[in-house]
Amino acid sequence: MTAPRATERRHPDSTEIDELSVSGLVDLFCAADATVPAAVAAARTELIAAIEAVEAAFRAGGRLIYVGAGTSGRLGVLDASECPPTFGTDPAMVRGLIAGGPAALTSAVEGAEDDPAQGGADLLALVPTARDAVVGIAASGSTPYVAGALQAARRVGAATLLVTCATPPDAVAAGCDVVIQVDVGPELVTGSTRLKAGTATKLVLNMLTTGAMVRLGKTYGNLMVDLQARNAKLHERGERIVMSVLGVPREVARAAIDRAGGSVRTAIAMEFLGVDREAANTRLAAVDHRLRALLGPPPPVSPGE
């Protein structure tokens, strides 16, 4: 009997997986995982529409809200949590909801994904508006918790998007503005969507936030200029960025970042313009915070950089 969803079907190449050597396992996994990028690329049109929807939400002062269960929910929360240190965003700008609440991030909360009413209630607790973009993440395409959240989002006029690795039910798809369906096929361990489906989902979420943030001017070329230097690693990265852009020694870069309150973008503007923090931020605001408008093109990549 054929499984109803692609994510539940058996992979024909892994029926003897329990007989393989370690080297055989590695080869099998590598071969399977190598198919994922092409599957993601096949959803190019939908990815473009999704990034545009997320960018529009941000420009309207709205938020990106991820909703998922299990692995899908954890990936959404992960992506949301990485936006503030990477792009200097307010933590409220990208949010992640997971069925079962915070406890589900580290332990399975059985049955939580089966409650559509709870999905709707959890979303509504964030007081969504028509300015927001709500992205449901469901490898199977049919997770009730996610479907309930998307229905609630639709009712308030928010943009609704679905990231899935299977054909979603018509009722779910009909309520979404964009459906990103990445057909990765069956998993090597039947139904274990933390494998190829999880990898594909991570790639998609990377594109959604990074693409939208780049469009908002959160980078200067490919440099992470909106990072906030709040720990040693990020401070060192920020110093290297300032050094690369302005051609100054490390001690000058470090001092500039300190005077800028940890903002790499502001530090670069201060040093380039020869002004204080307040004046630099005023100049940046006048050009939509885009360093390219003040400095011109970013410097070329130097050997070893």
Residue partners of 238: CB distance under 8 A and separation at least 6: 227, 229, 253, 257, 262, 264, 267
Report the candidate in 70, 99, 67 with the shortest Cα–Cα distance to residue 80. Answer: 67
User: Which listed residue (46, 55, 113, 239) is catalytic?
Assistant: 113
Are 266 and 284 within 8 A, CB to CB?
A: yes
Q: Around Cβ 206, how many Cβ atoms within 10 Å? A: 14
Q: Is 113 a catalytic residue?
A: yes
Residue partners of 16: CB distance under 8 A and separation at least 6: none
Using DSSP's 3-state secondary structure scheme, residue 86 falls into helix
Burial level of 222, CB count in 10 A (0-12/13-18/19+)?
Answer: exposed
Residue 257 token pair: 């970042």
Q: Is 271 a catalytic residue?
A: no
Ranges of beta strands (E only) in the chain are 64-68, 94-98, 133-137, 159-164, 178-181
Q: Around Cβ 11, how many Cβ atoms within 10 Å? A: 17
What sign for the dihedral angle of Cα 161, 99, 106, 87? positive
Distance of alpha carbon 117 from its chain centroid, rounded? 25
**For residues 299 and 275, what is the distance between their CA atoms, to the nearest angstrom?**
22
Active site residues: 82, 113
